[in-house]
Structure 1
């Protein structure tokens, strides 16, 4: 497992080790809950240690009767002969403990050492005494002693607590806490797995062990290893403590102590036992399970009758006192657990509203779904309210099928009720999300139906939003700018009249965006609209505009702007729980990486999007297209199946409008040498664009027609495409270079002279675009241009191992002990790419491990003559 978010701790420990071996010695206490990664950290520390430092590792075991001096027995084979003899005597009972302690101290004085004692919370009394003895005398010893322990398993009366009190007086003792992984780190670990990273973070609490077990068995609701670990801890509890833990599991992850005390007499003693077992913890007046998955594993084993009884007890207790907004979700949960549908319908809808207002859209969807399970007894209008809330929450949390289904049901019920205003609003909402699932034709038809319904009523906010929806669709589908502007004007007029700030800012954004896409002007106004939506705290409007800016910057090929726009959109959508928008942003980012020529990174980003179970069809289509194009450029097989799958997920208009679909098909045909297919696919795209203007879509298709010898139709073409169509290949290539798109610059140079062809070939080779290399060499042969044979670069030739500049960068970071993920973060490359570089470095150095590579270069540096 990559050591994410442990870099600072490793740096501190490495510094302690360097200081200790040159004197004075030190003791480092590394503490954290089970599974937090203490062993992984100390193992990595040992790997980072200089070869001349002796590594001594011993561990305490969870035995009913611990081994006397168990850790010392583990590390004895690495000690000097005298010390080994004394340890053997201690084992045979012929040496006193103080003799053993003095002998170990003398041995540590003889060698610079790293001494690790793991799981001290399980240590026997003699081992505790040994640590006391060593700690007091460490300043005179060239050693770092690292002791790890679980701070969630020691109580006030634990032997280790007394030892820690003694150590508190020593200034050479330092303490380090291992915190759970952040949401971002869990997301990095989950990348490429078919799981919802947010859900993994929620149930694991960021515990690395639990995270890795979930990722290893994503199909299991509770991984067997987690279930067994929890069962092992429960087995050590008394019957009274086990009952308390069962009750806690039924009550929920966080429970107020007064409520718990009202249900469990003698709570303090039993709770202390559960805390000492590392199952729960207390925080002020609240007790909670350390991880939601632990609670679920316990709950799974609680008999159904007992669960029902506890739910009824706690429901009654909570209803007898004032109810806060934060209590609503628990009340709804206990109401369902108690088999009380009336109470479910009393609390679940309010809990859903509260969650949605807090940006917790997944939780809101779950509460609406709970209420809908009992909604048959409700009047139709109230049932429809629930469907509408469920639809919105599902769609914002990327549960698209459920959201669309509830939206369709809501439309039918509103129509049956004769509630035209709500029917029109539901149609508008449905239209917005039909586009995201790739149903552009139905989205447009549904949006127009919404306007027809609402225009027959007194104007209101609903009509403003319906006009806004048509304004958005006109912009996304690249209709004439005047169409988008007309809908924007209607939206703004009604939005200002009825106080809908979100509708107003969105309308201004899309009107400016349409001009930007068609005429190249309007960027500043778009940026101003995004900033305005964020400043006014309009999360759904701001999140949408941020992701749209990401899309449009990619579409226009501006790599600098793309990076900034993607970072902003990702951060905002993460902070506000907008999962659907987040996944869209990440898909367009994969295309942006491809534009920069970073094929491996683009493929990895696209694969991560595809692995997420909530990715919308438009997002999946784009990611599949990126993967297909990467494979095509690399000269790999099975490209067309990916492109056909991408096309099957969405309407043909959507494949075109999102920007990459048809262009990818045309380029793939060219890479395969099929010029007829290039012209046919390009013409299909141009025909679809006949009544719409988008120079960033029509321009590349026309250029491909020209590149294969056809006569391109007169179409609107943006910047570099216009230059290429006018025959100015040098100007077009310069523009692409300025935009940070080397692959496109190389494509344009294929129309140039011999020097341009050589430059294009070098670019394709550097990017690993093997198929384009082959096509370029064929063109050079047909034009009688002889390729220049290139040896290794000068920097590579001068390196004694034949390492490239990038490989030397990687080697330096290997010497620092960094993992692939850490190297990737430092060099701004993908972890897989870093792994490829590491493999190349090891192969060129003729070694098998990272440590061997670091030592070889270290030794080489010290044997080279110095001037």
Structure 2
């Protein structure tokens, strides 16, 4: 490879900016596309060198032209070639350790792909800063493409840079990478660089770096290369060796092969059949040459730059060369060489590839089946499905297929359908299962997948058949549990309780722990819908008491156990269970699975409600603002609870990213509801009310979330001084309490009850009535542990008490609220309390002028002459937050300048 980079300074600068951002803590992805030989690898190599200079750990993996035969090949390649410290860290993660050489695959424990992805995220976090380069994505297997999408969406604040290269000229209309690239290019974290041909000036400069060449030859090379550096290198080499220039690139490449000795050509042809890379020992065996002759031939090939030494073997210097040599083989020669590789290989996926190419269908079927099982164990369901489908396609053409596969065709087809579903293709799984004999096991899985695709009537019919055809008690238990689940949300929900109890009894008798827990969780959900929270809690506690061996089921049980504690106001208990679930998710690599993510959402809310805002803000740091899907938008929305309450500058940016997802009811409920609060703190109640009406439009009238949103809307109306529409908001919220789902014989939890009381108090405030007794009830209701809402309620209670003339009681509530807000560093609430205290003239005679501990810190730095930005840097807070504190200080000390504030601080002895 030429040592000088020519004509790519602009592209390198763009990629360097991605690397710089990663070094600073903003992860990014760079996709580098271009025709074969255009310089993608050369550019990536330059970036790798820069990353190493910056102290990055560098992982480089290459895809191979084996389709989906070897899942995660570039990841395995990168880990094998990593620095020893990185390999040791990878080996500590069981799922990643299986990709390292000499490690046996462990039996699957379920959700293995998610566990592998989670383990990789954990590794990247441990060894950051890190650059992960995936070369030749146009050959990537399905799992590697999934991994690229996962990393592009999940890495946010980690010091991670992911770089992928691919050939644009290989991307035909139906190429699977096309849709992936289209999706990724829309993400704000992804930078796309496409390399075009070098212009004639750059090409001349580039050829000049290769060595001396006369003007005639230089002009010919530049013209024939057409801006492609690799073509130029090949043309230059041909000229240097005295060859005449061939008409086409294939002829050009073959002209360099044909100058090899017969032994050299024999070895190179064998290497071309192996693929882009091949191990030394294997190549020697297939070449059929004596060891001394083989080594001499390889030395000749390497010296001419056709193969490069790569680890324990060799790699073609460019894929085009391998393709040209392979294409030049005679049909019989190609078949015989594939058969030789198949005879020597033991890796099932590669073995299947060579068996099929050599027309050994029996060997291909056996190897494909074993490759599918291996992919299953590695957590690559898409590849497992592909291998099983290949085996099934060969079944009718191979005698004794069942003996070769080690199982019946029906069993293999069932396994293939389950793998299709695990890889996200429920529709294909449904189609495959419908083609099988409708056994109880098949019908149970069919019902499950139909339910997931919202085909509820068909799901119920399949579940009924699964129950009717169950061949033993374990099958019956699973069928009954799934049957109860399919009825949970439909018009036959009244049958769920009896079915779930029957499933539970059957599962316990049969010892089917997974079915038992599934039945308990379905029963708990049914009981919760009926608003018997205590009974639902008991059921979930039972479900989560023991491990089932099914990680997904165990995480699901822990999530619901923690959630029910939380909804009953038992914050400490909820935190303990959530922490246990999160530990399980992290240890098993399922941090980013559905319930691994939900547990972290819940843990954030527990921190938020309990007033542990520094911990909550730390958790929210992983909730990226840059979003591309509705689930990511939901995750990002949660961070607004803290950002709005603390008045952090990140609010506006996050809302701008979330705005396109406000059609989603959950995203709108969280983010628009908090956007309304943000507008209220900014003194814009009209905008707040617009957000409230828009949010309510996305909620069903009876949803319990209506209560909180309506209460915030009444706050906005009170600030606007209008009453029109207040009764409508109150009526809609009361409907949720009395007529909607909440009112169907159940009761709200502590938080819901507190919001219902606040709703009434806010409605009275809209009509000019400040009722101390009602606001005192609100304070008491939130005092179960919701620190922030208790402080906000005390603010309103202080206003109500002052309006009735009870000044001492008002000041006591004000001071209590101010203390709580100060501990939380809830700057907007602190500002509102400061303004209220100034108007009420509270704090007179107070030696600190009513300043909070944080305000005293800020005042001392103001007195030292620091600017807001300098104060922010010293206290690790936002400049905007400093500005709020300074305004509060000036108001409380009744001064108008920073100099006067410093003088007042000295007078009161606050600078000691």
TM-score by length of 2: 0.49
Are 1:631 and 2:679 an aligned pair? Answer: no
Cα pair distance change 1:552/1:151, threshold 3 Å: closer
8 Å contact from structure 1 (residues 603, 630) kept in 2: no
SS of the equivalent of 2:461 reads helix
8 Å contact from structure 1 (residues 607, 623) kept in 2: no
Number of corresponding residues: 605
8 Å contact from structure 2 (residues 440, 466) kept in 1: yes
Once residues 839 and 338 of structure 1 are traced to their aligned partners in structure 2, the CA distance between those partners, rounded to angstroms, is 70
Pick aligned residue for 2:122 from 180, 184, 188: 184
Once residues 868 and 467 of structure 2 are traced to their aligned partners in structure 1, the CA distance between those partners, rounded to angstroms, is 65
Are 1:683 and 2:735 an aligned pair? Answer: yes
The aligned residue for residue 695 of structure 1 is: 748
Are 1:262 and 2:285 an aligned pair? Answer: yes
**1:315 to partner: Cα distance:** 5.1
Are 1:393 and 2:419 an aligned pair? Answer: yes
8 Å contact from structure 1 (residues 796, 804) kept in 2: no
8 Å contact from structure 1 (residues 35, 209) kept in 2: no
**1:407 to partner: Cα distance:** 3.5
The aligned residue for residue 778 of structure 2 is: 729
Query: In the TM superposition, what whole-angstrom CA distance separates every residue of 1:147-177 from its partner, at most 9, and x where no partner exists?
Result: xxx999xxxxxxxxxxxxxxxxxxxxxxxxx
8 Å contact from structure 1 (residues 186, 197) kept in 2: no
Once residues 646 and 277 of structure 1 are traced to their aligned partners in structure 2, the CA distance between those partners, rounded to angstroms, is 67
For structure 1, the 5+ residue unaligned runs are: 8-31, 44-149, 153-180, 290-294, 711-723, 813-833, 845-866
Once residues 485 and 500 of structure 2 are traced to their aligned partners in structure 1, the CA distance between those partners, rounded to angstroms, is 9
Map residues 393-542 of structure 1 onto 2, 5 A cutoff: 393=419, 395-397=421-423, 399=424, 402=425, 404-410=426-432, 412-414=434-436, 417=437, 419-430=438-449, 433-434=452-453, 439=454, 445=457, 448-458=460-470, 460=472, 461-469=474-482, 486-508=498-520, 518-520=532-534, 526=540, 529-530=543-544, 532-533=546-547, 537-542=549-554
**1:425 to partner: Cα distance:** 0.9
Once residues 562 and 804 of structure 1 are traced to their aligned partners in structure 2, the CA distance between those partners, rounded to angstroms, is 43
SS of the equivalent of 1:537 reads coil
8 Å contact from structure 1 (residues 543, 569) kept in 2: yes
Are 1:330 and 2:350 an aligned pair? Answer: yes
Cα pair distance change 1:33/1:743, threshold 3 Å: same
The aligned residue for residue 211 of structure 1 is: 162
8 Å contact from structure 1 (residues 411, 427) kept in 2: yes
**1:502 to partner: Cα distance:** 1.9
Once residues 775 and 482 of structure 2 are traced to their aligned partners in structure 1, the CA distance between those partners, rounded to angstroms, is 38
8 Å contact from structure 1 (residues 559, 595) kept in 2: yes
Once residues 358 and 194 of structure 2 are traced to their aligned partners in structure 1, the CA distance between those partners, rounded to angstroms, is 31
Cα pair distance change 1:485/1:643, threshold 3 Å: farther
Map residues 343-358 of structure 1 onto 2, 5 A cutoff: 346-358=366-378
8 Å contact from structure 2 (residues 676, 692) kept in 1: no
Once residues 377 and 884 of structure 2 are traced to their aligned partners in structure 1, the CA distance between those partners, rounded to angstroms, is 55
8 Å contact from structure 1 (residues 348, 367) kept in 2: yes
Once residues 569 and 322 of structure 1 are traced to their aligned partners in structure 2, the CA distance between those partners, rounded to angstroms, is 43
Cα pair distance change 1:667/1:499, threshold 3 Å: same
Map residues 204-283 of structure 1 onto 2, 5 A cutoff: 211=162, 218-219=184-185, 257-263=280-286, 266=294, 281-282=310-311
For structure 2, the 5+ residue unaligned runs are: 1-18, 26-45, 58-81, 85-118, 132-143, 166-179, 198-227, 238-255, 402-406, 637-663, 681-686, 718-724, 765-772, 802-809, 844-848, 886-911
Once residues 277 and 776 of structure 1 are traced to their aligned partners in structure 2, the CA distance between those partners, rounded to angstroms, is 76
Once residues 202 and 234 of structure 1 are traced to their aligned partners in structure 2, the CA distance between those partners, rounded to angstroms, is 36
Once residues 700 and 748 of structure 1 are traced to their aligned partners in structure 2, the CA distance between those partners, rounded to angstroms, is 13
Once residues 728 and 334 of structure 1 are traced to their aligned partners in structure 2, the CA distance between those partners, rounded to angstroms, is 77
**1:608 to partner: Cα distance:** 6.5
SS of the equivalent of 2:785 reads helix
Once residues 593 and 48 of structure 2 are traced to their aligned partners in structure 1, the CA distance between those partners, rounded to angstroms, is 32
Cα pair distance change 1:761/1:647, threshold 3 Å: farther
The aligned residue for residue 593 of structure 1 is: 604
Cα pair distance change 1:34/1:455, threshold 3 Å: closer
Query: In the TM superposition, what whole-angstrom CA distance separates every residue of 1:515-569 from its partner, at most 9, and x where no partner exists?
Result: 7984447868856754622xx5333432433444465556556665566555554
Once residues 321 and 706 of structure 2 are traced to their aligned partners in structure 1, the CA distance between those partners, rounded to angstroms, is 54
Once residues 705 and 269 of structure 2 are traced to their aligned partners in structure 1, the CA distance between those partners, rounded to angstroms, is 54
Cα pair distance change 1:616/1:776, threshold 3 Å: closer
Cα pair distance change 1:681/1:564, threshold 3 Å: same
Map residues 144-163 of structure 1 onto 2, 5 A cutoff: none
